[in-house]
Amino acid sequence: MTINLNHKALLTSFFAVLFFLGFTSFQEPKEQQKAKGFRIIHNNDGTDALANMWFNRKANLSRADINRYVDIVADSKVVTTYMMCTGSDFVYYRSKYERTFGDDLNGTLSCNKSTAERDAFKHYYNNFLSLEKEGTDIIDASLTRAKERGMEAFISFRVNDLHFADTSSNCRVSYPDFWYNNPQYYTGDPTQGMNSAQALDFTHDEVRQHKLNLIREQLEKYPQIDGYDLDFMRFIVLFKTGDGPAKSHLITSFVKSVRLMVDSVSAVRKKDILLSVRVPITVEGCLEKGIDIREWHRQGLVDFISIGAHWRGETATPIAKFKKDLFQGFKKTIPVYGSIDDGGYQPREFFSEGMYRGMASHILGQGGDGLYLFNFYFENDGKVDYAKALNESGLVNRTRSQRLLTDLGDPTLLANRNKIYCASDGVTNAYGVLQIADLPMACGNGKKSNIGIFVSDAPDSKNLQSRLLFLRTDKMARMDLSVNGKEVKPLDSSFALKYDRIKGLQDGEEVYVYEIPNNTLLKGDNQVTVVSKGGIFIVKRLEIALNYGDVQKHGYF
């Protein structure tokens, strides 16, 4: 069914739905949801499925293959909402406004510097063609299957993706056409991060209209959707540095236009379609980037919000502060979810199972309404070869599994699983996103330096076997350490190796281990105090591991 979303139709539909907009409610949760508004969201970026990476890059991708991708997620029995990325400006379908992902126009578009990159795009496009022969595409197939498996089906639109904005690569097949043909619309500002100088600048009407054309096309094309997600975090560059607050009205108008489209489609299809956004982790940080999130809430433009960092995941998402700052002065609230990305502390220093549980517990313990899992990839049909995946001690696993996904989505299970809480390390502020972090922190001789860390478990539970604190410094250091005013004693450094806390260790860095006794940790905010006993050093990481017992029963760290 094609829906006409011209200006007249928008206005007509908008007024037609004014009555029920005030009473818009979320779709009833699937049976795994514990309360209205609770969601476990799985966002798939599409390229891993289009290349068939979970199944060893098998060629001739089929609808049956896509069903398997979705089923691996659905079989966790906790994911409520399945989001499929559309490819941003480089779309995964036949479009009136942009070239299909990987299409080299019968070999006329080259990739001069990289045969491997050219072949990769050819593989993507051949798989697209395979699906097209079955009368589908990766968005249609995955969201149809998600609905069949009882999940909400959302399109996720990356508002300003910069993966394919590297002018130095000289790979024309990898460049979206609108972007390539309109360099006059680039920000020209390299200060924000990778490829930010070539990011499309939303100051220009033409840029915003191009994005709206794609969004309108997608809303018309996919009748099975329950919602549309605007992912501002991939990548969070909308304007030149410093222009965000003054130009935020442009983004507000942009989101309002999307809201009108969504409501028009809702009216025609006679079903509620939700509009969600993924934005930076602080209200003030949102505004700095041009996102007036309080104004969006005041106008009722979005149905729920997810907050997160860009790729290098935030280990201590400040959900409580965000909700307080967002809703202050408003009677109405909407759900806020915490995003967990896969990037790790350092690029590709992947999070471990215990860290995932700690991040999820932090988000839920601070009042998050659920989780938004970004790039939560699987391999080999979702099965983990633990003989190869575990570290030498057999305690730590850094490969994502269905079991881990089930743990994250079930608060009852999560409560008694092994986990590692991590203070924000302060270096995940990609693209200039404002953070709240005590680290990295310089410690001077005799000075008391404090680091906050949130723990949502009941730390004096009789089920806990041990509570270990790991502290990473930039060099060898002598110090006294206390937790909530109580001194803690150091342990043998072999515990750092046993729990794989030396992962990504840089030259000169050291990891120190302490045992936290009973009646020391608090449920909620905790304060760790470091006093240097000689010289100046920098604390780079702070982690607390809660051990509930056997890893095969209670989960790997």
End-to-end CA distance of the chain: 49
C-alpha to C-alpha distances, 312 to 315, 377, 472, nearest whole angstrom: 9, 15, 18
Structure tokens at 471: 């502290």
Give the Cα separation of 94 and 107 in Å (integer).
Answer: 18
Report pLDDT for 348.
Answer: 73
Structure tokens at 63: 């609808």
Within 182-273, residue ranges assigned H as helices are 205-221, 244-269
Report pLDDT for 509.
Answer: 97
Burial of 510 (0-12, 13-18, 19+ CB in 10 A): middle
Give the Cα separation of 334 and 555 in Å (integer).
Answer: 33
Structure tokens at 480: 């006294």
Q: What is the pLDDT of residues 492-536, one digit of tens each?
A: 999 999 999 999 999 999 999 999 999 999 999 999 999 999 899
Q: What is the pLDDT of residues 307-345, one digit of tens each?
A: 998 887 899 999 999 999 999 999 999 999 999 998 888
The whole-number average pLDDT for the span 18-23 is 32
DSSP 116: H
Give the Cα separation of 41 and 217 in Å (integer).
Answer: 24
Give the Cα separation of 306 and 361 in Å (integer).
Answer: 16
The whole-number average pLDDT for the span 53-74 is 91
Query: Which residues fall within 8 angstroms of residue 299, CB to CB, at 6 or more apart?
Result: 252, 256
Q: What is the pLDDT of residues 123-180, one digit of tens each?
A: 999 999 999 999 999 999 999 999 999 999 999 999 999 999 998 888 999 999 999 9
Report pLDDT for 87.
Answer: 93
Burial of 177 (0-12, 13-18, 19+ CB in 10 A): middle
The whole-number average pLDDT for the span 3-25 is 38
User: Band of the pLDDT at 5, cuts 50, 70, 90?
Assistant: low
For 168: left if phi > 0, alpha if psi spans -120 to 50, otherwise beta; the answer is: alpha
Nearest to 222 by CA among 288, 186, 271, 277: 271
- Cβ atoms of 265 and 252 within 8 Å: the answer is no
Rounded to two decimals, the pTM is: 0.92
At 423, is the secondary structure helix, strand, or coil? coil
The whole-number average pLDDT for the span 355-368 is 98
Task: Tell me: pLDDT of 20 over 60.
Answer: no
Q: What is the mean pLDDT of the chain?
A: 92
Pairing mode of beta strands 448-455, 524-532: antiparallel
42-75 burial, b at 16+ Cβ within 10 Å, e below that, comes to bbbbbbebbbbebbeeeeebbbebbbbbbebbbe
Q: What is the DSSP string of 428-441?
A: --GGG-------SE
Of the chain, the percentage scoring pLDDT greater than 90 comes to 82
The whole-number average pLDDT for the span 69-83 is 96
C-alpha to C-alpha distances, 225 to 55, 81, 141, 229, 401, nearest whole angstrom: 26, 11, 12, 11, 27
Query: Which region among 13-27, 299-313, 331-345, 395-409 has the lowest average model confidence (pLDDT)?
Result: 13-27
Pairing mode of beta strands 419-422, 479-483: unpaired
The helix or strand, by DSSP H or E, that contains position 298, with its residue range, turns out to be: helix 293-299
The whole-number average pLDDT for the span 267-282 is 97
Within 134-195, residue ranges assigned H as helices are 138-148, 177-181
Q: What is the pLDDT of residues 413-436, one digit of tens each?
A: 999 999 999 999 887 778 988 889
The answer to whether the peptide bond before residue 440 is cis (omega within 30 degrees of 0) is yes
Give the Cα separation of 501 and 493 in Å (integer).
Answer: 10
Q: Within its chain, how far is the Cα of 459 from the centroid?
A: 28
Report pLDDT for 26.
Answer: 31
Report pLDDT for 15.
Answer: 34
Q: What is the pLDDT of residues 459-489, one digit of tens each?
A: 888 999 999 999 999 999 999 999 999 999 9
Of the chain, the percentage scoring pLDDT greater than 70 comes to 93
- Cβ atoms of 351 and 408 within 8 Å: the answer is no
Nearest to 321 by CA among 278, 355, 280: 280
Nearest to 217 by CA among 160, 167, 155, 274: 155
Q: What is the DSSP string of 474-496?
A: SS---EEEEETTEE-EE--THHH
Report pLDDT for 11.
Answer: 37
At 553, is the secondary structure helix, strand, or coil? helix
Angle at 304 between CA 68 and CA 151, to 5 degrees: 25
Task: Tell me: pLDDT of 56 over 60.
Answer: yes
